[in-house]
């Protein structure tokens, strides 16, 4: 059984705080825990006990079945791992932007994908009877949403990476615009009229998507963009949380399909520009 202290001890060993005076025998005994700590670092998100055992004891088939799948690592560990995952993605330039500190991917810069998105979302927001309060969940480097701010009464950009939010606060200064360090899976979301979730869910596992979707119910209007394959495909194939979409699994996130079953009152396809291997579909859901 994993306890709350398990994650703490693992992080302590990973940080190099083990006693240098430990005997050789003691060091040998800590090797499995060191391996466990490295595994936790590579998971990239909070994991259930069942998942951690599967990763750390791959040769012990069935051992994970003796664990209660409802037992999870502590909430603070979940958030720390998600922040670490996306911090690494930015630092390693996983989404491109060589030489830039933070870069949310070519799809936020290429005219053939970002211009149709901005035009469609601006037109949609302009139809609101009053200027809405907009919340951008997973705002990234804010290149796309910076072109929408003038249509909002107030605008909140949220992201799990603290350094990214600090950078956005320096670069984007405007009345009514603010940024928040926020883990959308674990933390409460700000109040608003419209929520934007642009190519965020595609990087998350289904359990984390479900946690976010439950919170989105507080917003009357959702604007959701996802990278989807061409043609027919099986929606919502599960995957680990990482920098990749489901496209490599011939799948994509569709919130109205199982296991999420979102049932909006109205649905609008705002745009579907072609992108590598598929389309980027932006939907507006009125709940």
pLDDT tens column, 249-260: 999 999 999 999
Q: Does residue 55 carry a pLDDT above 90?
A: no
Q: What is the pLDDT of residue 51?
A: 44
Integer Rg of the chain from CA: 21
| Structural domains in the chain plus CATH codes | 4-73 (no CATH), 106-286 (3.40.50.150)
Q: What is the pLDDT of residue 76?
A: 54
Higher pLDDT, 59 or 266: 266
Q: What is the pLDDT of residue 99?
A: 66
Q: How far apart are CA 90 and CA 82, in angstroms?
A: 13
Higher pLDDT, 225 or 58: 225
Residue 152: partners with Cβ closer than 8 Å, 6 or more residues away: 125, 131, 132, 133, 134, 176, 194
Higher pLDDT, 221 or 47: 221
Q: Does residue 266 carry a pLDDT above 80?
A: yes
Q: Does residue 39 carry a pLDDT above 60?
A: no
Maximum CA pair distance of the chain? 72
Q: Does residue 145 carry a pLDDT above 90?
A: yes
- Reported as a single tens digit per residue, the pLDDT across 211-233 is 999 999 999 999 999 999 999 99
Q: How far apart are CA 104 and CA 90, in angstroms?
A: 8
Q: How far apart are CA 109 and CA 143, in angstroms?
A: 8
Q: How far apart are CA 282 and CA 197, in angstroms?
A: 10
Q: What is the mean pLDDT of residues 166-175?
A: 96
Take residue 204 and report the two structure tokens written for it.
Answer: 């998350």
Counting every residue, how long is the chain? Answer: 287
Q: Does residue 54 carry a pLDDT above 70?
A: no
Q: What is the pLDDT of residue 87?
A: 87
Alpha-carbon distance values, 140 to 123, 136, 179, 181, 203 (Å): 22, 9, 11, 11, 13
Whether residue 259 has a cis bond before it, omega within 30° of 0: yes
Average pLDDT, the chain: 79
Confidence at 94, pLDDT banded by 50, 70, 90:
low
Higher pLDDT, 68 or 196: 196
Q: What is the mean pLDDT of residues 158-169?
A: 95
Take residue 106 and report the two structure tokens written for it.
Answer: 């070519």
């Amino acid at each position: 059984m994993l306890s709350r202290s398990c994650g703490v001890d693992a992080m302590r060993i990973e940080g190099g705080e083990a006693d240098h005076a430990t005997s050789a025998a003691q060091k040998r005994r800590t090797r499995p825990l060191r391996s466990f700590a490295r595994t936790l670092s590579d998971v990239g998100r909070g994991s259930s006990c069942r998942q951690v055992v599967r990763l750390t004891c791959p040769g012990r088939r069935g051992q994970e079945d003796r664990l209660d799948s409802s037992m999870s690592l502590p909430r603070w560990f979940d958030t720390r791992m998600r922040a670490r995952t996306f911090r690494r993605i930015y630092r390693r330039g996983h989404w491109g932007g060589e030489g830039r500190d933070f870069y949310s991917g070519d799809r936020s810069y290429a005219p053939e994908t970002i211009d149709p998105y901005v035009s469609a979302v601006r037109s949609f927001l302009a139809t609101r009877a009053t200027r809405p309060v907009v919340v951008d969940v997973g705002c990234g480097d804010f290149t796309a949403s910076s072109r929408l701010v003038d249509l909002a009464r107030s605008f909140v950009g949220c992201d799990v990476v603290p350094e990214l939010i600090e950078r956005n606060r320096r670069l984007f200064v405007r009345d009514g615009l603010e940024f928040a360090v926020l883990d959308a899976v674990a933390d409460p979301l700000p109040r608003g009229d419209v929520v934007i979730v642009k190519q965020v869910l595609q990087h998350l596992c289904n359990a984390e998507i479900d946690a976010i979707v439950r919170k989105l119910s507080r917003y009357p209007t959702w604007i959701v963009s996802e990278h989807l394959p061409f043609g027919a495909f099986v929606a919502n194939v599960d995957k680990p949380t990482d920098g990749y979409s489901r496209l490599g699994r011939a799948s994509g996130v569709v919130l109205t399909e199982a296991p999420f079953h979102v049932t909006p009152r109205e649905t609008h396809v705002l745009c579907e520009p072609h992108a590598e291997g598929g389309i980027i579909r932006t939907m507006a859901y009125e709940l």
